[in-house]
């Protein structure tokens, strides 16, 4: 994840608290937050794609959607 992205988000949040943001800054803040959330979602999906769920008897009970995602990522 880009440290620069997080720093920009934090700088705009701080400015918002202290003096407020212009309309263009509000739009930039929203865009940066969405970009950040997309990065997080991608990381979570990649992490979950590597997980196999096994029941007490040792049977693979990974949901079909998760198995498909795992195959897609290979």
Q: How confident is residue 1, by pLDDT bands cut at 50, 70 and 90?
A: low
* pTM given for the model: 0.73
Written as six digits, the tokens of 29 are 């803040």
Least Cα distance to 6 among 18, 70, 14 occurs for 14
Residue-wise pLDDT for 18-67, tens only, equals: 999 999 999 999 999 999 999 999 999 888 888 889 999 999 998 888 88
Q: Which residues touch 55 (CB under 8 Å, ≥6 apart)?
A: 61
Least Cα distance to 36 among 72, 63, 74, 1 occurs for 1
Mean pLDDT over 10-21 rounds to 96
């Amino acid at each position: 994840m880009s440290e620069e992205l997080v720093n920009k988000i934090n700088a705009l949040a701080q400015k918002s608290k202290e003096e407020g943001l212009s309309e263009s800054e509000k739009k930039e803040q929203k865009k940066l937050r969405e970009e950040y959330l997309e990065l997080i979602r991608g990381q979570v999906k990649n992490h979950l794609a590597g997980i196999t769920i096994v029941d007490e008897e040792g049977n693979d009970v990974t949901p079909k959607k998760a198995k498909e995602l795992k195959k897609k990522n290979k």
